Amino acid sequence: MSIETRLTDLGITLPDAPAPAANYVPFARSGNLVFVSGQISQGENGLIKGRLGENMDVAAGAAAARRCGLSLIAQVKAAVGSLDKVARVVKLSGFVNSTGDFTDQPEVINGCSDLMVEVFGDKGRHARAAVSVPALPRGVAVEIEAIFEVE
Bridge partners, residue 87, by sequence: none
Q: Are 47 and 41 in contact (CB under 8 A)?
A: yes
Domain edges within the chain: 36-150
Q: Is the pLDDT of residue 126 over 90?
A: yes
Q: What is the reported pLDDT for 68?
A: 98
Confidence of residue 122 (pLDDT cuts 50, 70, 90): very high
Report phi then psi at 116, rounded to 5: -60, -40
Confidence of residue 1 (pLDDT cuts 50, 70, 90): confident
Confidence of residue 84 (pLDDT cuts 50, 70, 90): very high
Q: What is the reported pLDDT for 61?
A: 98
Q: Is the pLDDT of residue 40 over 90?
A: yes
In DSSP notation, the chain reads --HHHHHHHHT--PPPPPPPSSSS-SEEEETTEEEEEEEE-EETTEE-B--BTTTB-HHHHHHHHHHHHHHHHHHHHHHHS-GGGEEEEEEEEEEEEB-TT---HHHHHHHHHHHHHHHHGGGG--EEEEEEES--GGGBSEEEEEEEEE-
The model carries a pTM of 0.97
- % of the chain with per-residue pLDDT over 70: 100
Q: What is the reported pLDDT for 21?
A: 86
Contacts for 117 with CB less than 8 Å, ≥ 6 apart: 124, 125
Mean pLDDT calculated for residue range 11-22: 93
CATH code of the region 36-150? 3.30.1330.40
